[in-house]
Amino acid sequence: MDFPDDTPVYVISIAAQLSGLHPQTLRTYDRMGLVSPGRASGRGRRYSARDIAALREIQRLSQEEGVNLAGISKILELQRSNDELRNELGRLRRLVEELGNELESTRAVAARLAQMRGEGRGGDLVPIRQTGVVLWRKQQD
């Protein structure tokens, strides 16, 4: 049976084995907020696959890179912030694309309306932009 990466399924002893850390180390990391496992109804910690990966990364940073726990905490905080910013950037890019499509559609409608008016006096409606807002003005000869 497959679980999503964030499903808390592993008790602390299994999480310790999977991460290569002592259970007391996992408790310390939980108290420090480096990893926040889920809780079972009896308040026992339950670790997800994502938590196990985070524990392994914490161990790597500590043992291979020589980063202290305060530094690891800051690194993890910055990584979370970076992930949030990436998600927000993606959302804003999609919004800009949607608005661009809407603007093009509006311009096409304006062009059709101008053709329908076609009084031959050069009085077409033309979209203009001021500080990011599309306004309409009557085109002058």
Q: Tell me the per-residue pLDDT of 109-129, one tens digit each, with 9 for 90 and over.
A: 988 888 888 754 454 455 555
- Are 100 and 63 within one domain? no
pLDDT in tens, 27-73: 999 999 999 999 888 778 999 999 999 999 999 999 999 999 999 99
Rounded to two decimals, what is the model's pTM? 0.64
**How far apart are the C-alpha atoms of 35 and 26, rounded to whole Å?**
8
Residue 77 belongs to a domain: no
Beta-strand (E) ranges in the chain? 38-39, 45-46, 125-130, 133-138
Residue 49 belongs to a domain: yes
Residue 124 makes CB contacts below 8 A (sequence gap 6+) with 114, 117, 138, 139
Residue given tokens 């990391």 in the structure block = 29
- Are 18 and 53 within one domain? yes
**How far apart are the C-alpha atoms of 30 and 8, rounded to whole Å?**
14
Owning domain of residue 25:
12-67
Q: What is the pLDDT of residue 102?
A: 94
pLDDT in tens, 40-51: 887 789 999 999
Domain boundary among 22, 49, 67: 67
Report the number of distinct structural domains present in the chain: 2
Residue 87 belongs to a domain: no
